Chain A
């Protein structure tokens, strides 16, 4: 269980997160949506340990992991990707993955042995690209490598920040299938952020909506779609 409890974070005078609660169970795919600047990426930054929350905490299986630095969070079993790609561009695809896989072998050896990285690479359609420098790949492929790299941590939870950004409909449909398959095979719980509501509604069992740092709604796709506050925020967007 991944629990975000009353997390707040300000940048100067700007409240990017205001007492946000969220819980994700094992093997659950949870969506996180909201307009630009709502605080979605900030929440992922807090969960993954890049930012220390001003208030509240993040717990993994009941243990506080927030405010202890990103390596602790990664070693505890939370992987993430980035909205603005953060691969190691000068390393090959395989080397990028290897940096994370090393941690998995150290911290969770049983899972690391069971993880067939070659099969995962193939499942995301990157077979043959292993020896290419990550920086030379297309954006879509880089996003997939980021997912693979995070998956190589053998995490219990994965945070995907706009994984389908820049992908066309067919590509994002394939990505949704791949994400579901990762969940099914590894029992990973996920938080998925995206602006593509069609993608999110099709993929996620539960959806939370952030606006101006506050969680304004949460529920199934059906519930969120008909929530007046959400409709107001999205101002007639096809929700």
Chain B
């Protein structure tokens, strides 16, 4: 029983992490058809912000976490303003290449100015302790990860359902031009989407750093790849799909680990990525389907 619960929490916390990151990808994709592969660097920015804070002697974990999250929000807004806005109306491939460009630039900046090697960052290590919950021993980090993710998703849901800007974003995901015809500034709607994606990535970054206890320049790559898979599983661009896909992936991964013999544990990612391949074959147009928009003849 204890073991089953432990595996369940394991899967749910991985799923929560993927869901947070996948939501950020999906919210940007739903509005502008951009798969932001530089999303991983937003996670890295949050983590390096935490690293620098420790360097200057601020080590209160709560303060460090808040600053890290703020840094990723700013980073995401900056990416949009500097890199993605100029290519907003360019073909999909241009946006994708831009995202890779941003990713390479940021990774190399950390590589040059900090270190190409992993650096220890144990500031959130306290989260790895176990706590008693109704007689069961569970990891605090996993509880927090699941709880905070559910809270963040709920808050996002309220924002999208209740606020006018949220309504506009929901509408814009289907029909951006008509939202602009209602006088909403495209720049503001898109900047908000990036800010939200940065916020979610920042939260995820705190958990990622807590788990690994270290940072390195390309630390965002794997999480974003997983989030991408989550989006594909759930249906690209759909926010609900991103959350669902994230949790499905978490459970599939943990499930595969349980099924595979110990000696073949290394095959986990191979199995998972075979999943991407299969899904890409099944619905290729769902991912980077070209959008030609002209006047009111776009549907």
Contact = CB atoms under 8 A, between A and B. Distances in A.
A interface, how many residues as a size bin? 35 or more
Interface string A173-195: 00000000000000000000000
B180 interface: yes
A84 B208 CA distance: 47
A89 B171 CA distance: 8
Interface in B165-209: 167-168, 170-171, 174-175, 177-186
B294 A99 contact: no
Interface stretch (A44-52, A113-121, A228-236): A44-52
Interface SS of chain A: helix
Contact of B295 (A45, A71, A100): A45
A102 B299 contact: no
B25 to A, nearest CB: 21
B296 A50 contact: yes
Interface stretch (A18-26, A75-83, A136-144, A215-223): A75-83
Contacts of B177: 50, 70
Contacts of A89: 174
A129 interface: no
Interface in B132-177: 164, 167-168, 170-171, 174-175, 177
Contacts of A42: 295
A74 interface: yes
A88 B185 contact: no
Contacts of A49: 180-181
A8 interface: no
A76 B299 CA distance: 27
Given A74-B180, A74-B181, A74-B183, A50 B295 contact: yes
Contacts of B164: 98-99, 102
B171 A82 contact: no
A151 B261 CA distance: 66
A86 B182 contact: no
Nearest to A16: B295
A125 B178 CA distance: 24
A149 interface: yes
A66 interface: no
Nearest to A71: B180
Interface residues of B, number: 21
Interface string B267-299: 000000000000000000000000000111001
Between B164, B171, B183, the greatest number of chain A beta carbons within 10 A of the residue's beta carbon is seen for B183
Contacts of B174: 88-90
B159 to A, nearest CB: 14
A95 interface: yes
A71 B186 contact: yes
Interface string A141-164: 000000001000100000001000
A69 interface: yes
Contacts of B185: 71
A107 B183 contact: yes
A172 interface: no
Nearest to A73: B181
A103 B184 contact: yes
A69 B171 contact: no
B181 A48 contact: yes
A99 B184 contact: yes
Contacts of A30: none
A239 interface: no
Given A71-B185, A88-B170, 15 more contacts: A44-B296, A50-B295, A51-B294, A71-B186, A73-B181, A74-B182, A82-B178, A88-B174, A88-B179, A90-B174, A96-B171, A99-B164, A100-B182, A149-B182, A153-B182
Sort A-B residue pairs by CB-CB distance and give the 7 closest, nearest first.
A103-B183, A74-B183, A88-B171, A45-B295, A70-B180, A102-B164, A100-B182
Interface of A: 11, 41-42, 44-45, 48-51, 69-71, 73-75, 80, 82-84, 86, 88-91, 95-96, 98-100, 102-104, 106-107, 149, 153, 161
18 contacts: A42-B295, A45-B296, A49-B181, A69-B186, A74-B180, A86-B178, A88-B179, A91-B167, A91-B171, A98-B164, A99-B167, A99-B179, A100-B183, A102-B183, A102-B184, A149-B182, A153-B183, A161-B296
